[in-house]
Amino acid sequence: MGCCGCCAPRYKRLVDSVFPRDPQDGLVKGNMEKLTFYVLSSPEKLDRVGEYLYQRVSRDIYRKKPGFIVIGVESMDQLLQACHSQTLNLFVESFLRMVQKLLESPDPNLQILATQSFVKFSSIEEDTPSYHRRYDFFVSKFASMCHNNSPNDDIRNEIRAAGTRGLRSVVRKTVSDDLVENIWDSSHMEKIIPSLLFNMEQGRQGLVADENDASTENQNEEEMEAPRLAENCMRDLVNKATFGHVRSFVKPVLHHFDTFELWVPNDFAVHTFRVIMFSIQSQYSYAVIETLMNHLDQHHMKSSAKVRTSMGDVLAKIIDIAAGESVGPSVLEIVNSIVQHIQVSTKLEGADSDEKAYRETLIAALGEYVTHLPDYQKIEIMKFIMQKVPSRVDNSSSQRLLQSMLLKSLLMVGSKYHTTYLSTTFPLSFLQPLLTMCQDEDAELRLLVQNILHTLIDRHQNRERLSSPTITKLEHLKRESCTRTDILFVKKNGSEIFTSLVASVGKNNNAIGNMNAIYTTIALFLVELFCEDTLVDFIRVIISFQDLALTSASLSATQKIHLHVMSVSLFAVIAQCFPAIQDYKNSVVKARRELAAHLIPPMKVRYEAYEPSQNIAEPCLFRQDEIFAILKNEGLEVSSNKLSYSVPRHSWVDAHMQSGSTTDLNSFSMEVDSGASTPIGSRKMRPEREDEEMTVENLKRLLNDSSDIRKEIEVQKRKELTHAYKTANFEDLVAKTAAKQTVLQEIHLPSIISTAVQYFVRLLPRTLSGESFIYRTIIGLIIARCTPNKLRIYIGPALKLCMVVDIEFYGKTSIVSQPVVAVKSRNRE
């Protein structure tokens, strides 16, 4: 200053006056108040004051006078706190240049001092935005401070903490103002995110145990260490992100884990993503899941199974946080992505234990995701997964593995679902493919399907009590009265369900686990759906098992004994629900104890030679006529038809249906001659005399009948008709339909035969099974129904069918030779 100090401008004299002669005396507070009053009175002088203070601090840095540097920085901080004029932007530019000068100094103390000043500046709310201000240098410098490697532990920790505070201040200053520099730009995020993760990873042992606990934010920042500061900074950054910014900070996180191989072990990765999921705005949480799954897509070919398993484990542990906010298409998008990962994994050759662990992790992730979804979305997810299960078109291991994995996924979703109405749980689009898989040739797949049924049927947690066959009384069995909705479900789908279960139990590769599972399925159905209206259906299942054990030529002796054990065990459950048949059950059990003890539970893996499965004494078997008598004595109506369910005998039908055909035997309309072909005992609503007059009394009676009852009777008629055509002998069918034939002969038979010829010409190259039955049926109908005058009309298509057989299958013409000879001989007559 010298002798010319009195000639200097006033703002310079005021600035100089705040500096004492001895820096240890500190800032001259009286003069500082004068300087503050001056700039508040003359705001236009603020930029000059800032410029002069910057020059003094720069000179003191060059002269290495730390005491005066501290005083200059403190005076600037006080002016920033006091002034809010529109010209503050110009002063801030001088302030930021001063901070930059301090940060460029190699002295750690000056770097820490600059950071503290910048933190104070970040808390100031400016009245006017700055369009030209940039923070590139500060982001880079604070990020480098976060990676400080000073050999002195104290200095290293202090500088890292200062760098973390600086990054948090930059984020706080820029993230909430769209008019300033975009902090979400990749050039900034690629510096900020790795710096924060580096500090979090260095001190992860001392991190907060609960990622959802923000108690550290209430502590004094000056007392926090770098790892806690970095975590809080990460929370602030993520919390302020909008939907468009999610990928901006998630991708650097993923890149950091890839670069430094932090996926295995994945403790830190799990912690980091849980911090992100708990900090992000809830409506954007599913975007984090999508980004992570897209990143997992990129690792299918270039990363090991162990790395992908760790990534899948991270996904499983955070996906439930996003489930509550997932709506609409985003739900199926996430499920579809998981299913696609499973599909890709099953196609990899040479899969080891790590690959298996990866698939199990994905299934666990799916289960965690659906846990917090509403039940109606779980049903849609189960239908969606069932549509992805491939039909058995070959025996490749990849196809079988994919079927198994998808069924396990379905089982996981089903375990999170709470069944209320079976009709809601089992829509046709879900039930039919599930029952088709129930009859698969693979025993393990069938067992998975049974487990799925157990999970969805068991509404009262009785599964453990019904896990294996027993004839003892089941204690603490939870039951409720069967509702009207459940009864209608059985009437509509019971026949198809029980027929599939009978077909499943008839497979010759069933192990004891499969038998136990089928028993549990039917027992659960019985407990959940038992009432007088459904009693006969369950007894039919028991008789079906017994008939199968007595007549099957493909089952082993052990499997036949298992069927007898299952029959008596299921009958015991019925007796517990319907005490009227308890005495009959006791008599059968007593007879078995005396004559065939191996036919009562428990089931064994192996039986001795003296424990036969054939030639069983009559008292040891369930008799249909005795069951009829008991039920009729109780006032129940029982049809006189065959009581048991029969396994479909024409395997070509099932094979064709599984190959993609939409044709179903139940879908044919049997309007022609349906009355005459309906089995006896099923025509409850038909007049006793076919020529009954249409009188007023008859019309009243028809109008008063309930439409629901008529519909149920029609459905029952159709089921009985289909069942009769599947099980009855050909001669019986001809005899029943021989009475009425005029309409069929003159109108429908030519078109039926022509259509059949065209259909089987297409079908013959694909299957050899069942053609004998088809040819004998069609040509036999011609012989039975046609008069000599009409026979010449239909002989042409029939012979054409025989020619197709001769051409396509040489050596198999004996199939049709006898019917053709009969047709020709009758034509000559």
Cα angle, residue 189 at apex, residues 88 and 321 outer, rounded to 5°: 115
Give, in order, the Cα–Cα distances in Å from 436 to each of 451, 606, 631, 655.
15, 30, 33, 11
> Which of the pair, 135 or 330, is modelled with greater confidence?
135
* Residues ≥6 apart with Cβ < 8 Å to 400: 442, 445
Residue 351 in 3-state DSSP? coil
Residue whose structure tokens are 């069929």:
744
- The per-residue pLDDT for 801 is 55
354 in Cβ contact with 304 (< 8 Å): yes
Model confidence at 685: pLDDT above 80: no
Q: What is the 3-state secondary structure (H, E, C) of 382-418?
A: HHHHHHHCCCCCCCCHHHHHHHHHHHHHHHHHHHCCC
When pLDDT is cut at 50, 70 and 90, the band that residue 615 belongs to is confident
In this prediction, residue 1 carries a pLDDT of 44
Q: How far apart are CA 382 and CA 415, in angstroms?
A: 11
**Percent above pLDDT 70 for the chain:** 73
The three-class DSSP label of residue 164 is helix
Count of CB atoms situated within 10 Å of the CB of 672: 16
How many angstroms separate the CA atoms of 391 and 400, rounded?
10
Closest CA to 449 of 494, 404, 398: 404
Q: Is 28 helix (H, G, I), strand (E, B) or coil?
A: coil
DSSP letter at 580?
G
CA angle, corner 731, sides to 726 and 734, nearest 5? Answer: 85
How many CA atoms lie within 13 Å of 749's alpha carbon, on the beta-carbon side? 27
pLDDT reading at 273 higher than 60: yes
Read off the pTM: 0.70
Q: What does the pLDDT average to over 619-637?
A: 89
Name which of 412, 492, 486, 411 is nearest 453 in CA terms: 411
**pLDDT at residue number 215:** 47
Residue in this structure with the two tokens 């006969």, named with its chain if needed: 536
pLDDT of residue 302: 80
Compute the CA torsion angle 627, 631, 633, 637 (nearest 10 deg).
Answer: -130
Secondary structure (DSSP) of 57-115? HHHHHHTT-HHHHHHHHHHHHHHHHH---TTHHHHHHHHHHHHHHHHTSS-HHHHHHHH
CA neighbor of 307 nearest in space, from 295, 290, 322: 295
Q: Report the pLDDT value the prediction gives residue 671, as an integer from 0 to 100.
A: 36
Where is average pLDDT lowest: 341-350, 368-377, 546-555, 619-628?
341-350
Predicted pLDDT at 770? 46
The answer, yes or no, to whether residue 170 has pLDDT greater than 70, is: yes
Question: What gap in Å lies between CA 424 and CA 456, rounded to an integer?
Answer: 11
Q: What are phi and psi of 352, to 5 degrees?
A: -105, -170
Q: What is the mean pLDDT of residues 75-104?
A: 86
Which pLDDT score, from 0 to 100, does residue 2 have? 46
Q: Please give the span between the terminal C-alpha atoms of the chain, in angstroms, as a whole number.
A: 143
The confidence score (pLDDT) of residue 724 equals: 76
Q: Between residues 686 and 701, which one has the greater pLDDT?
A: 701
Answer yes or no: are the C-beta atoms of 75 and 86 closer than 8 Å: no
| pLDDT over 50 at 736, yes or no | yes
Interatomic CA distance for residues 140 and 214, integer angstroms: 28
Q: Chain-centre distance of CA 321, in angstroms?
A: 16
**pLDDT at residue 660 is higher than 60:** no
Q: How far apart are CA 268 and CA 255, in angstroms?
A: 14
All residues at 6 or more sequence positions from 425 whose CB lies less than 8 Å from its CB, including other chains: 379, 417, 419, 456
Rounded CA separation 195/208 (Å)? 19
Could you read off the pLDDT of 299-338 as tens digits, one per residue? 877 888 899 999 999 999 999 888 777 666 678 889 999 9
Residue 398 has pLDDT above 80, yes or no: yes
799/793 Cα distance (integer angstroms): 11
Q: With a cut of 50, say whether residue 162 has pLDDT above it.
A: yes
pLDDT value, residue 821: 46
Question: Which amino acid, 812?
Answer: K
- The closest of 321, 334, 217, 213 to 277, measured between CA atoms, is 321
pLDDT tops 90 at residue 814:
no
User: Rg of the Cα trace of the chain?
Assistant: 42
Nearest one of 292, 336, 343 to 313, comparing CA atoms? 292
Q: Quick check: 711 pLDDT over 60?
A: yes
Report the C-alpha gap between 456 and 415 in whole angstroms. 8
* Cβ atoms of 375 and 418 closer than 8 Å: yes
DSSP state of 172: H
Q: Provide mean pLDDT across the span 234-263.
A: 93
Average pLDDT for the chain: 81
Q: Are 70 and 31 in contact (CB under 8 A)?
A: no
Contact by Cβ (8 Å): 658, 392: yes
Q: Six-digit token pair at 188?
A: 């900034």
Nearest of 195, 208, 193 to residue 162 by alpha carbon: 195
Q: Which residue has the higher pLDDT, 18 or 328?
A: 18
Residue 731, SS3?
helix
Say whether pLDDT at 438 is over 80: yes
Q: Is pLDDT above 90 for 514?
A: yes
Taking a C-beta distance cutoff of 8 angstroms, is the pair 366, 335 a contact?
yes
Instruction: Examine the pLDDT at 281 and tell me if it is beyond 70.
Output: yes
Calpha distance 104→238 (Å, rounded)? 29
- What distances in angstroms separate CA 666 from CA 260, 498, 716, 720, 777, one per listed residue? 62, 15, 12, 10, 19
Q: Round to whole Å and give the CA distance between 413 and 407.
A: 10
The pair of structure tokens assigned to 556 is 């082993």
The residues, ordered by sequence, that sit 6+ positions from 463 with a Cβ below 8 Å of its Cβ are: 454, 520, 524
Residues 778/801, Cβ–Cβ less than 8 Å? yes
Least confident of 217-221, 501-505, 617-621: 217-221
Q: At a CB cut-off of 8 Å and minimum separation 6, what does 634 contact?
A: 580
CB 334 within 8 A of CB 347: no
pLDDT for position 143:
96
Total residues belonging to the chain:
829
Burial class (CB in 10 A: 0-12, 13-18, 19+), 296: buried
716-731 pLDDT, tens per residue? 888 778 777 777 777 6
Higher confidence at residue 208 or residue 105? Answer: 105
Contacts for 76 with CB less than 8 Å, ≥ 6 apart: 50, 53, 57, 95, 98, 117
